[in-house]
Amino acid sequence: MPAHARPNQLFRNLSAKIASIPMILTALVVFVGGTGWTIVYSFTNSKLLPRLNFVGLDQYDRLWSTSKWIISLQNLLIYGVCMLVLSLVIGFVLAALLDQKIRFENTFRTIFLYPFALSFIVTGLVWQWILNPDFGIQSIVRGLGWESFNFDPLYNADIVIFGILIAGLWQSSGLIMCIMLAGLRGIDEEIWKAARIDGIPTWKTYLFIVIPMMRPVFITALVLISTGIVRVYDLVVAQTGGGPGIASEVPAKYVYDSMFLAQNLGQGFAASTMMLLAVIIVIVPWAYLEFGGRKRHG
């Protein structure tokens, strides 16, 4: 085929490509470059200032023999699984309830979404007070006469992570609800009618017809929730500061603490590289299935 018959692919939509150059550069330099830099320096013994003094896998050895890191990972796992399942369930149930053409839908939607307008720090502080045994729920219930009532998750190392989970759920379920609601509104009314004519019960319609149709909505929600899980930091700082003891530490806090409090950049970089690795292990197979497959269909 002669060259002039087809315009050069590189110059198609030229203005759009030029416009996206800044973002491409940012992505390459800041994200990819920063990531590479971090990984390289995680093999050094950099303390307060980055130094190219390689020590092999020493930082990783220390990382995996530190109980604070192990506890951080366990906490993230518990928090992550619970957060993922519960926000999807709560978000969807709330959305389904709101979708029943109830009165004051706008009011309810605003109330449910409102916590999302608060930062994690504010959310954390509010829940710290609510869950404080001397001022919050426990003292109110005891004041009502149940003297032996005990509810102090933030001061009990075994369940402290659930105290944080409550605050996280309260903050983010509203957003998931809104996304789900938008998805539900996108389902054609005809499908509901068809299901009703066939005599399928409502819950079955939701479970086997509506939810599979809402797949893209679920994926959006999933991505939003997962990024929230991996970077959870401020909530912990505001609610417990990692305590009692080190029972509510999370990986992001471990990274911050070792980089800035302990003045040990190498250790912080090693921890953040492990976090990146964990994310990649989850994301890559999923992205492969999700996007790799579609291409073949053409």
Partner 1 sequence: MKSFKALLTASTFLGAAAVASAAEIEVTHWWTSGGEAAAVAEFAKAFEEKTGHTWVDGAIAGGGNTARPIMVSRITGGDPMGATQFNHGRQTEELIEAGLMRDLTELAEKEGWRDFIRPTSLLDSCTVDGRIYCVPVNIHSWQWLWLSNKAFEDAGVPVPTNWDEFVAAAPALRAAGKIPLALGGQPWQSSGLFNVLMVALAGPDVLVKVYGDKDTEVAAGPEIARVFKAAEDAREMTQGSNVQDWNQATNLVITDQAGGQIMGDWAQGEFQVAGEVAGEDYTCLPGLGENEIISTDGDAFYFPVTDDPEVQEAQLALASTMLQPDVQVAFNLKKGSLPVRGDVDLQAANDCMRKGLEILAEGKTMPAVNQLNTEDTNNQLNDLFVEFFNDTSITAEEAQKRFVDIVAQAD
Query: Which residue ranges make up the site for partner 1 (CB under 8 A)?
Result: 47-49, 62, 65-68, 133-134, 152, 155, 157, 241-247, 257-258, 260-264, 267
Give the residue with the Cβ less far from partner 1, 63 or 179: 63
Tokens encoding 109: 């939607």
Contact 53, 46 (CB under 8 A): yes
CB of 63 to partner 1, least distance (A): 12
Across-strand partners of 44? 54
**Spatial contact of 182 and 94, defined as CB atoms under 8 Å apart:** no
- Cα-Cα-Cα-Cα torsion 115, 121, 124, 125, nearest 10 degrees, comes to -110
Cβ-based nearer residue to partner 1, 75 or 172: 75
**What are the tokens at 119?**
């930062």
User: Shortest gap between Cβ of 247 and partner 1 (angstroms)?
Assistant: 7
Q: In the complex, what is the shortest distance from the CB of residue 226 to partner 1, in angstroms, rounded to a whole number? A: 28
Nearer to partner 1, 95 or 265 (CB): 265
Distance of CA 39 to the CA centre of its chain: 23
Distances (CA, A) of 191 to 149, 173, 209: 49, 27, 9
Q: Cβ atoms within 10 A of the Cβ of 75, count?
A: 24
Is the Cβ of residue 125 or residue 187 nearer to partner 1 in the bound state? 125
Query: Which of 87, 258 has the CB closer to partner 1?
Result: 258
Q: Min. distance of Cβ 35 from partner 1 in angstroms?
A: 20
134 or 189: CB nearest partner 1: 134
Q: In the complex, what is the shortest distance from the CB of residue 61 to partner 1, in angstroms, rounded to a whole number? A: 10
List, as one string, the DSSP characters of 169-220: HHHHHHHHHHHHHHHHHTS-HHHHHHHHHTT--HHHIIIIIIHHHTHHHHHH
Closest CA to 122 of 218, 240, 235, 259: 235
Distance CA 259, CA 23 (A): 28
CB of residue 266 to partner 1, shortest distance in Å: 10
The Cα 85–Cα 176 span in angstroms is 12
To partner 1, the closest distance from the beta carbon of 246 in angstroms equals 5
Category of 101 on φ-ψ map: left (φ > 0), alpha (ψ -120 to 50) or beta: left
Nearer to partner 1, 116 or 256 (CB): 256
Q: Which is nearer to partner 1, 186 or 244 (CB)?
A: 244
Q: How far is the CB of 261 from partner 1 (least distance, A)?
A: 5
